[in-house]
A and B are shown apart, each in its own frame.
Chain A
Amino acid sequence: MSDPSGPAIEFVNVHYRIDGKHSLISNLNLSVLRGEALMLLGRSGSGKTTTLKLINRLLAPSEGEVRVDGRSTTEWDVIRLRRHIGYSIQEAGLFPHYTVQENVALVPKLEGWEPARISSRVQEVLQLVGLPFHQFSSRYPDQLSGGQRQRVGLARALAADPPILLMDEPFGALDPMTRAELQHEFMELQKRLRKTVVFVTHDVAEALMLGNRIALMDSGALKGIFTGAEFFRSSDTAVKPYIDAFQAMQQTLKAGD
Chain B
Amino acid sequence: MPLFAFIAIDKRQLLTLTGEHLWLVGISMFLAVALGVPMGILLSRRRGLRAVVLGANNIVQTIPSLALFGLLLPVPWLGARADRLAILALTLYALLPVVRNTYAGIAGVDPPVREAAVGMGLTPWQLLWHVELPLASNVIVAGIRTATVITVGVATIAAAIGAGGLGEFIFRGLAMVDNSVILAGAVPAALLALGADLLLGLIQRTLVRTHH
Contact = CB atoms under 8 A, between A and B. Distances in A.
Nearest to A53: B119
Contact of A79 (B112, B121, B130, B134): B121
Interface centre among B113, B115, B116, B117 (most CB of A within 10 A): B116
A82 interface: yes
19 contacts: A58-B115, A58-B119, A78-B121, A79-B121, A82-B118, A82-B119, A82-B121, A83-B120, A90-B112, A92-B112, A93-B112, A95-B113, A97-B134, A97-B210, A97-B212, A106-B120, A106-B122, A107-B120, A153-B116
A92 B123 CA distance: 20
A118 interface: no
B123 A89 contact: no
A81 B120 CA distance: 9
Contacts of B130: 95, 106
Given A94-B113, A95-B131, A110-B126, A156 B120 contact: yes
A150 interface: no
Contacts of B121: 78-83, 107, 110
Given A96-B212, A97-B212, A140-B212, A89 B120 contact: no
A56 B119 contact: yes
B11 interface: no
B211 interface: yes
A156 B92 CA distance: 44
Given A82-B119, A91-B112, A140-B212, A97 B135 contact: yes
B188 to A, nearest CB: 38
A87 interface: yes
What is the interface of chain B mostly: helix, strand, loop, or mixed? helix
Nearest to B138: A97
Contacts of B131: 95
A203 to B, nearest CB: 20
B115 A96 contact: no
4 pairs of A and B residues whose beta carbons are closest in the complex: A93-B116, A82-B121, A87-B119, A83-B121
A46 B26 CA distance: 56
Contacts of A83: 120-121
B164 to A, nearest CB: 42
A92 B115 CA distance: 10
A167 to B, nearest CB: 11
Nearest to B137: A97
